[in-house]
Amino acid sequence: MSTRKVKVYPRFERLWHWTQALLIFVLTFTGLGLNGVHSIIPFGPAVMLHTIAALILLSVWIFATFWLFTTGTWKQFVPTLDGLVEVMKFYAWGVFRGEQHPHKKVIWRKHNPLQILAYFGLKILIFPMVWITGIIYLTYNFWEHIPDATLYITIIANLHLLSAYIVMAFVIAHIYLLTIGHGFRSHVKPMITGYEDINLTPEQESYLETNEPWRLKSRKN
């Protein structure tokens, strides 16, 4: 067992992450404006920007979904109970006592079980809630004639708003958790360079060295 710097976030995944981050920022900022929380940008431009950002994000998600399934990366996001309680205990208690993070990164599990659960929930519950309500909201023109359309748009808009606030809460926790452990910088770095310290078995290491050498950084680095 050795620890090597392995490329775990390929270029597409990093691009996906950062465009998503930027778009979520734009959407949150304009969305809060549309909801009346602030009036930093006028309503009309905010609508345009929000809608355009939403449409770009939707297309990023379509690509990401395709990528996840064709590359098999989706397996990384399948929730597991294995080690979950330990991670939760660590954040609730161990972290205060200076304990080590219980999760050891391995090549087929680049996230810890709590992370996986959070991302999984985001992917199959919160994001769909955002985009489904968003698309229904956006296409009001096409169903405005149905009875009680005003009631439905009110419900849809409120669900959209609620899901947006959940995403905001997620982003806060997500960024905070980067500060635990080696610190913020070292946690953000892999999402920029793609390389992360991973525990490799000798078999994994020799497989990578033989077949996918570009995924391993040489030891002297």
Residue 15: C-alpha distances to residues 34, 105, 141, 150 (Å): 28, 22, 34, 39
Contacts of 197 (CB under 8 A, 6+ apart): 3, 4, 5, 6, 105
Distance CA 27, CA 168 (A): 10
Near other proteins by CB under 8 A: residue from 11, 78, 82, 96: 96
**Any contact of residue 78 with other proteins (CB under 8 A)?**
no
Distance CA 141, CA 149 (A): 10
**Any contact of residue 212 with other proteins (CB under 8 A)?**
no
Closest to other proteins by CB, 135 or 157: 157
Q: Which two tokens stand for residue 28?
A: 């949150």
Shortest Å distance, C-beta 89 to other proteins: 14
Near other proteins by CB under 8 A: residue from 12, 43, 74, 207: 43
For 90, other C-beta atoms within 10 Å of its C-beta total: 21
DSSP label of 3: E
Euclidean distance between the first and the last CA atom of the chain, given in angstroms as a whole number: 19
Distance CA 79, CA 1 (A): 25
Q: Which stretch binds other proteins (CB under 8 A): 61-69, 125-133, 171-179, 208-216?
A: 171-179
**How many residues lie near other proteins (CB under 8 A)?**
50
* Footprint on residues 98-137 left by other proteins (CB under 8 A): 98-101, 104
Near other proteins by CB under 8 A: residue from 180, 189, 207, 212: 180
For 129, other C-beta atoms within 10 Å of its C-beta total: 17
String marking each residue 190-209 x if it binds other proteins according to CB under 8 A: -------x------------
String marking each residue 6-25 x if it binds other proteins according to CB under 8 A: --------------------
**Any contact of residue 150 with other proteins (CB under 8 A)?**
yes
Find residue 195's DSSP bridge partners.
7
Q: Which residues bind other proteins (CB under 8 A)?
A: 3, 32-37, 39, 42-44, 47-48, 51-52, 91, 95-101, 104, 140-141, 144-145, 149-150, 153-154, 157-158, 161-162, 164-166, 168-169, 172-173, 176, 179-183, 197
